[in-house]
């Protein structure tokens, strides 16, 4: 079934920009959100970078240089998360000139929680499991490796840090004892938005409704906690599925990554 859920994309995008990017708050131990002039940056064990900027042609180069110097001093890789409506219009070129490297473009998509929070429909023999321990994280890592290629210790560590946190939920789809898909849900208290991440399904189970079922399951979790919107940074493979479910594309987003500088 297809739903139309976002009737005013510009208004929802403005809300997302304000609540998730410009006015970002994170009370997770080890994470730090800072407003430095016209830039909001994030520092933490799982991600470092720029969430939002309000720059123009006269301020962009100095702000980019300051952020590059900040993260270089920390010795960490950093991502400037650039959205298609960010300004100035040539911000991407300025980031490249400063040593940031673009990665694959994704699409910012948002759907309303209420119509998405339906009973998941699963293929025969598949069940959904909420992950609450390290054994479950190991199964999620197994599913991610099969779906996306070799995993990384960083991903496992991120998932392990999610255990027991009130701002995250981890989910598996299991066929018998075999993990066939894994995903997580991140809650942003006070914003109305919850984020869908992962959702990697192993190749032999794609096209059978597993991904859609995990979206529905996470929408139900978000609805139970009063969230209004689900947000996804969608790749080319998941975008058509999300569009059929009623998600709307609001913008594109491209990670501009600066490798971590060595500190001797």
pLDDT recorded at residue 152:
60
Torsion, Cα 13 18 19 21, to 10 degrees, reads: 90
The helix (H) or strand (E) run that includes residue 50 is strand 49-53
pLDDT recorded at residue 153:
61
Provide the whole-model pTM.
Answer: 0.92
pLDDT tens digit string along 94-153?
999 999 999 999 999 999 999 999 999 999 999 999 999 999 999 999 999 999 887 666
Residue written as token pair 């390290």 = 134
Residues of the chain with CATH 3.40.630.30: 111-251
Task: Say how far apart CA 186 and CA 174 lie, in whole Å.
Answer: 21
Buried b (16+ CB within 10 A) or exposed e, 130-140: ebeeeebbebb
SS3 46: coil
Task: Say how far apart CA 242 and CA 254 lie, in whole Å.
Answer: 19
pLDDT recorded at residue 27:
87
Residues contacting residue 200 through CB under 8 Å, at least 6 positions apart: 143, 144, 146, 147, 148, 181, 182, 183
**pLDDT reading at 263 higher than 60:** no
- Domain 9-105+253-258 in CATH 3.40.630: yes
pLDDT tens digit string along 138-192?
999 999 999 988 766 678 899 999 998 999 999 999 999 999 999 999 999 999 9
Query: What topology does CATH give the domain 111-251?
Result: Aminopeptidase (3.40.630)
């Amino acid at each position: 079934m297809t739903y139309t859920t976002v009737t005013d994309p510009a208004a929802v995008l403005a809300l997302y920009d304000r609540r998730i990017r410009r006015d970002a708050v994170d009370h997770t131990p080890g994470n730090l959100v800072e407003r430095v002039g016209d830039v909001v940056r994030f520092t933490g064990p799982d991600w470092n970078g720029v969430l939002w900027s309000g720059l123009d042609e006269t301020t962009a180069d100095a702000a980019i240089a300051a952020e590059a110097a900040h993260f270089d001093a920390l010795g960490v890789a950093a991502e400037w998360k650039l959205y298609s409506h960010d300004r100035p219009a040539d911000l991407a070129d300025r980031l490249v000139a400063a040593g940031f490297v673009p990665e694959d473009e994704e699409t910012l998509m948002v759907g309303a929680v209420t119509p998405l929070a339906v009973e998941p429909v699963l293929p025969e023999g598949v069940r959904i499991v909420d992950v609450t321990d390290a054994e479950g994280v190991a199964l999620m890592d197994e599913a991610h490796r099969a779906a996306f290629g070799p995993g990384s210790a960083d991903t496992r560590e991120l998932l392990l840090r999610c255990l027991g946190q009130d701002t995250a939920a981890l989910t598996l789809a299991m066929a018998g004892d075999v993990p066939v898909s894994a995903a997580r849900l991140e809650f942003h208290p006070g914003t109305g938005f919850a984020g869908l991440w992962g959702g990697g399904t192993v190749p032999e189970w794609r096209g059978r409704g597993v991904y859609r079922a995990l979206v529905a399951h996470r929408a139900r979790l978000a609805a139970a906690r009063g969230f209004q919107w689900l947000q996804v940074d969608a790749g080319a493979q998941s975008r058509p599925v999300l569009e059929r479910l009623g998600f709307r594309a609001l913008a594109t987003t491209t990670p501009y990554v600066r490798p971590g500088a060595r500190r001797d």
